[in-house]
Structure formats: C-alpha cells, structure tokens
Structure 1
Amino acid sequence: ARHWSLDIETGLNPFDGKKDDGSYGKSLKHWRLHPEMRYWFCETFYKHFIGLHVPYILYNVSDIKLLGTENERHQGWGAGAGISYGYSWLLSRHWNLEATVGVGYLYLESEKYPCTNCGRRQEYVKKHYFGPTQAAINLIYQF
C-alpha cells in the first residue's frame, strides 16, 4: 500500500557473561521481537511516519543497577504495545537513514533469584511499565 508498511525487528543477546569461576556477574541476556505497523504521511519509506508496535521479550537479567536487579537475577518475559514517531531521509536510490522514538506499556513477569548465579527462586514478580519502548537510528538498504 502506498502509505502503509510493516517493520519487524528482532534482537538477540545470547551471551551470559559467565566468568571463569562459574559466576555470572552482570548479565543482560535476551531475545526481543518488535513488529510495528507504520502509516507514512507522504509515501512509504519517505519522510514522517507514525507506528503501532507490539513488543515481546524473553530475558535473563542479573546485577544491573539501572534495571533494578542489583545483587539479584530476574528471568522472565514481557509483552506490550506502544506508539512511535519517526522520519526517514533518502540518501540514494537504495539507502535511507531513519530515526524513530516510541512510548508504550509493557507487562513484565519474572522469577526472582537472590544472587546472580545461585540460590532458589525467591518469588514471582509482576510489573507494569509505562515509558520509552523504542529509540533507534537505522541505516536501511532497500532492494
């Protein structure tokens, strides 16, 4: 369609940060799927667009203060929905530069462990997150 496109992003960090002594320390292991339906105001892949995205994530996060997991580990999943705004610049016949930001809601469910590499499950944690869900600058090749 002239004004619509579907963007499907995925991300994977399979590295667990395991140290030589068997401990894990800081770790941000995850798999992310981020489909987004976009409406382009001019034509597809050119200038302004708005989008509706539905992210899904599987994660295993330990000892990261910014994420609230200092001295503990959380293993779980999350899903949600959000809206985004972006702009795409034509660089040449096949290349574009795109910037996008998005906000939305995520439901996160995880099992909490007392330290980064040991212990029995302490509890199930359920969180509701409202805030940024997307920020990217992409270099795009179009066939």
Structure 2
Amino acid sequence: MKRLLIALLFMMGSSVYAQEWMLKTNLFYDATTTMNLGFETRLSPKWTLDVSANWNPWSFSDNRKWKQLSFQPEARYWFCESFNGHFLGAHLLGGIYNMGNWNTDFTFLGTDFGQLQDYRFEGWMLGAGIAYGYQWLLSKHWSVEAEIGIGYVYSRYDKYECPHCGDLLEENKPHNYFGPTKAAINLIYVF
C-alpha cells in the first residue's frame, strides 16, 4: 500500500497543467467500509489512465470476513474530450481476499455465495474487462462519474472447513468468473 501511494504521488507530481490529473473515491466502496483511492491522469486529448486501489482489512462481528486488497488500472478513451462526457475503458484487475461467515444464499453467474456461510475462502485473483462510463462536470474542481464494466476473472483459493477456524479442505483450487467486474459512482476532485 505504501508503494502504491508513493507511485501515485510521483505520477501526480509529473503533471503540471490544470485538469491533467484527478483523485477520486468510489461511493459504492465507501458504503461497504472499503477504503479506496483512485487516480487518473491525461495521456492525450482523448486518452487517460485511471488507477484505483481498494482495501478492506476489517473483520466484522461474529468473525464475519470480507477482507480484500485489489488494484484496477484502466486505459480510457473519451468520445469528446478527456474528463468530460462518455468514455470506454479497458481494465485489468488483481488482488487477494479472505471471506467467510456471511449468511448469503444465492448463486450469481456460476458463483455460489451460499458457501460463505459454512466455509472460509482465501485466495488471489487476476482479470480483465471492458467498461462504459460518463462523467459530469460539477464545477472547476469537482466531478461525478458513473461506470459499469464486464469481464473475466481467474482466481485460485484455499477452502477452509468453517468460517471461524477449521481444517484446510481444498488447496489452490481454480475458479473462473465472467460477469460484472466494475461498478462505480465516483466523487472526483480535479487538480
């Protein structure tokens, strides 16, 4: 996390013109107590690079876990001009997770979230996707953007017997996922 912040500060320092870079937070992640920070910089009049990091280190009551650390760089093409209006993005994503003890009883696009009630999963993921978004200028320094993306994620995980403790049941098990990979309502500060 320290290296990410140093890299972000370095990239911010490399831009000296107004509206060449911005900081953002995803309000969806904020609502789930996931700390997040995004940085975006202009590469050309219609291209930008967006890099976001998300971190949820918390264990909740009754030892419920939804811990994760993830990164998601994205190249964006803007239809009009960068930081304004419609854009398309291509993103990568990667991270680690530790989840369990959640009373969820549903399956979504082939992933059985009901297993989170009786098992704990710890692993890593890598993926890629495409996205569409729109950004609204509110003032000289403030903007809001909405974005949705789909893609593919490959994951490997260890499965444990119970959410609290438990013996290792499966090791280094692969999982493939295709579906939503990005959903954001970002509050943005433009420099």
2:66 aligns with one of 14, 20, 28: 28
Q: Does the 8 Å CA contact 2:126/2:155 hold for their aligned counterparts?
A: yes
Amino acid at match of 2:162: C
SS of residue in 2 equivalent to 1:81: strand
| Corresponding residue for residue 118 of structure 1 | 165
Task: Tell me the secondary structure at the aligned position of residue 67 of structure 2.
Answer: strand
The residue number in structure 2 matching 1:109 is 156
CA RMSD of superposed structures (Å): 1.2
Distance of 1:94 and 1:119 partners within structure 2: 50
Residue equivalent to 1:92 = 139
Query: Aligned-pair distance for 1:126?
Result: 1.1
CA displacement 1:11-36 (0-9 Å, x = unmatched): 111112265xxxx2x21011011111
Match in the other structure for 1:80: 127
**Structure 2 runs not aligned, ≥5 long:** 1-43, 107-112
User: 2:56 maps to which residue?
Assistant: 13
Give the residue type in structure 1 aligned to 2:168: R
Q: Does the 8 Å CA contact 2:101/2:164 hold for their aligned counterparts?
A: no
Match of 1:141 in 2: 189
Please tell me the residue identity of whatever aligns with 2:165. C
Write the distance in 2 (CA, Å) between the matches of 1:73 and 1:129: 18
Extract unaligned runs of 5+ from structure 1: none
TM-score of the two chains, using structure 1 as the length reference: 0.92
How many residues are aligned here?
A: 138
Could you tell me how far apart the structure 2 residues matched to 1:16 and 1:33 are?
20
For the residue of structure 2 that corresponds to 1:69, the secondary structure is helix
Moved more, 57-66 or 5-14: 57-66
- In 1, Cα distance between the equivalents of 2:129 and 2:90? 6
